[in-house]
Amino acid sequence: MTLPDALLDTLRTHFPGDALATGMAERLAYAYDNSRRNALPDAVVFPTSHEQTEALVKACRAHRVPVIGRGRGTNTTGATVPVAGGVVASFERMNRILRIDPDNRLAVVEPGVLNGDLQQALKPHGFFWPPDPSSSPWCSIGGNLACNSAGPRTVKYGSPRENTLGLRAVAGTGEGFRCGTYTSKGATGYDLTRLLIGSEGTLALITEATLKLTPKPSALRTIRATYRDVSAAARAVARIMAQPVTPCALEFIDDVALKLARDYGGDSVPLAGAMLMIEVDGEAETLPSAVDAVSRAARGDGLEDLRVAETAEETQALWSARKALSPAQRTISPNKINEDVVVPVSHLPELVDGIKQLARKHDVLIVSFGHAGNGNLHVNLLPRDESERERAHACLADVFALVISLEGTLSGEHGIGLVKKEFMPLALQPSTLQLMRHVKAAFDPEGILNPGKLLP
């Protein structure tokens, strides 16, 4: 696609100087994301205000040109790849924290604020924003909201949907609007805030977010438990989640992942059939009893070893396996297929066993780890050559079918984007998908916002 001269003139008016980029180098830099998919945009703009974003969408709508909102490109599903060309709107310059209000437990931020920067700004106030994806030092709040990206703390504190009070945004019509409240309670009309979160920029471009803050607990304790096999660890997860104390992180790592991490990270990584990394937070007076309760639930048939860290150094040592895992996988396969399926926690043992069977059936190396307290498992297929890549894609379809059969769904936090949209009919019935298309049409009549994503 070549942008019409009239549209380029309008863009230059609203995005003067380096706020508009049309050179090949700049366009290439915004052609891809962490999915390794790529497609060249026709231009890139860098909004710094809500009003600029309105002007952008109105201009592009008039010429039927796609607009693709972008945070920092850390998503793994191709959600920000401009498959139909058009204009990428990178919100990296809208990076102001507009308000921190401890009395009302909220913060108002622009979409380009980095998750990690927000957490640092909240520390002196004794608060935090619970969503904590592994990319938090580099990912933006806008991207977190677009994909409903969460992380380990979701098990206790919820995802962005549970931690966002309101939004300001621009629909595909070019009209700006606000939704949600500044209060923790609200029963006024449809909940458009939760609708926009996770919609991957297909309904509106978020220009401001009012986030719900949580007081930061004063103490944290880490537990590492190793098990005879993955089934024993999965059963322990179900026991832990069935008792009253909710951990703030409950991470599962299978035997294949542990061996990879040990090969990469050294002897500090234990060899076992599976491992759980558990964090419990709270106040210093009550934390020991909470740790005891979780530890009792973690014990049971198949437990090999359970350790509780007493110092920061011990905590760091216990987490060594998890930290070594991502770089270890990259040494095996640059073509890693990373899925983040989710099932009810009680079905986690069946999911883990089923994935082991599929790995054998398709002769594909699969590493499984993730946020077990939510039933959210990161299933990583590691094909090493072309024939394994073909088998991996066949295996992936079976993985999704297994997940759906266990009352689960396709994604817990990565989203759908490009890479999973063909599987959406597995998860949602035709009438549901049709309702979603009607919602899309109401927000974006011309279909210019992030076309080719999410809906099949």
Higher pLDDT pick, 328 / 51? 51
**What span, in angstroms and rounded, lies between the C-alpha atoms of 382 and 402?**
19
Among the residue ranges 88-102, 218-232, 257-271, the one predicted with the least confidence is 257-271
Residue 304 located in a structural domain = yes
Residue 206: its H or E element = strand 204-212
pLDDT surpassing 80 at residue 330: no
Mean pLDDT of all residues in 194-223 = 97
Cβ atoms < 10 Å from Cβ of 48: 16
pLDDT surpassing 80 at residue 177: yes
> pTM for the whole thing?
0.94
pLDDT surpassing 80 at residue 321: no
- Let me know: does 232 contact 352? Beta carbons within 8 Å: no
**What span, in angstroms and rounded, lies between the C-alpha atoms of 414 and 339?**
8
Picking from 59, 92, 125, the residue at the C-terminal end of a domain is 92
Instruction: List CB contacts of 260: < 8 A, sequence separation 6 or more.
Output: 325, 328, 329, 332, 367
Are 104 and 170 part of one and the same domain? yes
Residue 436 located in a structural domain = no
Are 32 and 178 part of one and the same domain? no
Are 347 and 266 part of one and the same domain? yes
Q: What is the pLDDT of residues 360-373, one digit of tens each?
A: 999 999 999 989 99
Among the residue ranges 10-19, 260-269, 428-437, the one predicted with the least confidence is 260-269
Predicted pLDDT at 314: 83
Four-point Cα dihedral 329, 351, 349, 315, nearest 10: 30
Picking from 151, 180, 215, the residue at the C-terminal end of a domain is 215
Residue 430 located in a structural domain = no
Predicted pLDDT at 168: 98
Residue 344 located in a structural domain = yes
**What span, in angstroms and rounded, lies between the C-alpha atoms of 82 and 422?**
18
Mean pLDDT of all residues in 93-97 = 98
Among the residue ranges 135-144, 157-166, 321-330, 411-420, the one predicted with the least confidence is 321-330
Are 330 and 238 part of one and the same domain? yes
Radius of gyration of the chain (CA): 22
Are 174 and 29 part of one and the same domain? no
Residue tagged 């991957």 (tokens): 200
Q: How far is CA 305 from CA 142, 170, 279, in A?
A: 41, 53, 16
Cβ atoms < 10 Å from Cβ of 404: 17
Averaged confidence pLDDT in the chain: 94
CATH number, position 132? 3.30.465.10
pLDDT range class, residue 399, cuts 50, 70, 90: very high
- The domain tally of the chain equals 3
pLDDT surpassing 90 at residue 391: yes
Predicted pLDDT at 101: 98
Residue 287 located in a structural domain = yes
Predicted pLDDT at 110: 98
Predicted pLDDT at 220: 94
Mean pLDDT of all residues in 143-160 = 95
Predicted pLDDT at 322: 73
Predicted pLDDT at 116: 97
**CA end-to-end span of the chain:** 22
- Let me know: does 381 contact 337? Beta carbons within 8 Å: yes
Tokens read off for 327: 């770089």
Predicted pLDDT at 117: 98
Are 274 and 144 part of one and the same domain? no
Residue 235 located in a structural domain = yes
pLDDT range class, residue 125, cuts 50, 70, 90: very high
- Let me know: does 203 contact 443? Beta carbons within 8 Å: yes
Are 261 and 337 part of one and the same domain? yes
Picking from 33, 65, 92, the residue at the C-terminal end of a domain is 92
Predicted pLDDT at 60: 98
Instruction: State the residue range of the domain holding 144.
Output: 99-215
pLDDT surpassing 90 at residue 134: no
CATH number, position 295? 3.40.462.10
Among the residue ranges 44-58, 273-287, 301-315, the one predicted with the least confidence is 301-315
Predicted pLDDT at 332: 81
Edge-to-edge strands, sheet with 204-212: 97-101, 106-109, 204-212, 164-171, 176-180
Mean pLDDT of all residues in 230-245 = 95
Are 257 and 372 part of one and the same domain? yes
- Under DSSP, is residue 52 helix (H, G, I), strand (E, B) or coil? helix
Are 81 and 117 part of one and the same domain? no
Are 144 and 208 part of one and the same domain? yes
pLDDT surpassing 90 at residue 407: yes
Residue 252 located in a structural domain = yes
**What span, in angstroms and rounded, lies between the C-alpha atoms of 129 and 135?**
15
Among the residue ranges 125-134, 332-341, 343-352, 395-404, the one predicted with the least confidence is 332-341
Mean pLDDT of all residues in 227-239 = 94
Are 58 and 137 part of one and the same domain? no
CATH number, position 80? 3.30.43.10
- Let me know: does 275 contact 319? Beta carbons within 8 Å: no
Residue 424 located in a structural domain = no
Which regions of 248-384 does DSSP assign to beta strands (E)? Answer: 249-254, 274-282, 303-308, 337-342, 366-371, 376-381
Predicted pLDDT at 320: 75
Predicted pLDDT at 267: 82
- Phi-psi group of 92: left, alpha or beta (phi > 0 → left; psi -120 to 50 → alpha; rest → beta): alpha
Q: What is the pLDDT of residues 34-71, one digit of tens each?
A: 888 999 999 999 999 999 999 999 999 999 999 999 99
pLDDT surpassing 80 at residue 259: yes
**What span, in angstroms and rounded, lies between the C-alpha atoms of 179 and 305?**
49
Percent of the chain with pLDDT over 70: 100
Predicted pLDDT at 319: 78
Measure the CA angle with vertex 87, ends 63 and 20; round to 5°.
110
Are 263 and 378 part of one and the same domain? yes
Amino acid at 224: R
